[in-house]
Copies of this chain bind each other. A is one copy, B any other.
């Protein structure tokens, strides 16, 4: 008997996967629990659900149709959370905007996304006007005391679009685009649903969690945590500005249990005069760069446990997690730090990642052979919005090319060595900027640093360090170079050291391209990146 009398029909619910289902559930089973805890605006899950459905109704009344885009320019307020449900409840596509971008950049994105509506906080009204100058047909909705957002919600009817195709477009997140125009990364309902489940499981969220919004919700849809936290019926604690005293105060007053932040934000917290060991455990996920051993140890002393994650906008945020194995507790501190600095393994819903050579073959998992990280699976983007060429060029036989270079350790854990554009090629040798940075960060006087390449007539490129010292610390370039020289190969020692503040993105990532530009000028850097992209493809 080869076939069964089973049809593909599912009489009791072939229910599409969509993250809005998490709020539908929370509104039913956690109706009276706090969804948002904010001194100025606390609401229950029943109320959040009602507001999101009325936001959906309001958008519909403004003419937003199925598949239309809605751009949003707000800080981490309740509005940022509401659009993550209200926009898809209307059948529309969410486009969160980075509030640190210029008016011109925002105008490009709003135009490229083809948005019908822009929801902006009154704090960013000038920016919003600039964004709409070349997009005059976009309807502006303003959130805040003097805006019309609340009035629109108050007068709207609830509207609940039923998702039919779980592979439909849910959101578009534009990458920062260090060269060329920003690219619109497309997320599906299915992908976001699964990534949210993985985040809830890996971050150990539950109904008693209080989640602080340090990570901007415009960054990979807050790594899908607007949906993950809601899936657990946990409380969202909005945070309009990332400020150490405010964060320590919220941890203390509201009993914050979880937050996500880049290492630079964590450094700021650990160094803050307000830092005080918490009376309850706090779980933090960090990514963008490996947290340094000194930082991890400082945070542990403050009651903060750190998990290291890795991912890209194209992978719904953290597709990779440095899952800590209890046996590693027995290792010595430096071995533990090396293990923690690894990016880790594919998360629960991800396909195991691969590290491949230029021909697309897996490299040896020997912890030494460098290759490019490629990924595929439900939590990899649908593609770049209106850019089939870029989508194609990121595609390696059905695998997404991350542009990140790394090694696979024998235990299956990934360790990044560099962005392909950040690696330094000196006299034919690859120098991992991350490796040199880790040695520099180990110096007790160093707060943070970045290592980039500088063009050199003889060697092609040489490494150069940019360093921020701890308050009150004194250190000169030669002393630091000796520290590095004592620890790694001589050709990796920075030729020069520049002391000062480091330029950062809205999400706290150090902008290496700005540092490179400061060395060689804008035109050169773009040219170099283009050339490097070719060499990574074909070398």
Contacts and interface: CB of A to CB of B under 8 A. Distances in A.
Interface of A: 1-6, 8, 10-15, 17, 21-22, 24-25, 28-33, 65-68, 93, 114, 165, 167, 169, 186, 188, 197-198, 200-201, 204, 206-208, 231-233, 323-326, 345-346, 348-352, 375-378, 380-383, 385-386, 388, 391, 395, 398-400, 411-413
A38 to B, nearest CB: 19
A395 B201 contact: no
A326 B6 contact: no
A13 B346 contact: no
Nearest to A396: B12
A412 B28 CA distance: 6
A165 B383 CA distance: 23
A1 B348 contact: no
Given A325-B33, A352-B24, A395-B11, A4 B207 contact: no
Nearest to A347: B25
Contacts of A198: 197
B197 A11 contact: no
Contacts of A5: 386, 388
Nearest to A188: B10
A398 B11 contact: yes
B204 A15 contact: no
Contacts of A1: 68, 114
Contacts of A232: 201, 348
A331 to B, nearest CB: 15
B14 A378 contact: yes
A24 B353 CA distance: 12
Interface SS, A side? loop
B207 A29 contact: no
A517 to B, nearest CB: 31
Contacts of A68: 1-2
Contact of A67 (B2, B201, B207, B412): B2
A260 B536 CA distance: 51
Contacts of A188: 10
Q: Report which residue of A197, A201, A207, A345 has the largest number of chain B beta carbons within 10 angstroms of its beta carbon.
A: A201
B352 A28 contact: yes
A167 B10 contact: yes
A248 to B, nearest CB: 22
A34 B207 CA distance: 31
Contact of A325 (B207, B383, B386): B207
Nearest to A325: B207
B411 A31 contact: yes
A13 B377 contact: yes
Given A11-B391, A15-B377, A17-B378, 13 more contacts: A1-B68, A2-B66, A4-B67, A4-B93, A5-B388, A6-B383, A10-B167, A25-B350, A28-B412, A32-B411, A207-B323, A207-B325, A233-B323
Q: Report which residue of A28, A67, A197, A204 has the largest number of chain B beta carbons within 10 angstroms of its beta carbon.
A: A28
A312 to B, nearest CB: 12
Contacts of A323: 29, 206-207, 233
Contact of A346 (B25, B67, B348, B395): B25
Contacts of A376: 12-13, 15
7 contacts: A2-B66, A13-B380, A21-B351, A22-B348, A28-B346, A31-B412, A208-B326
Contacts of A398: 11-13
A1 B385 CA distance: 14
Contacts of A169: 4, 6
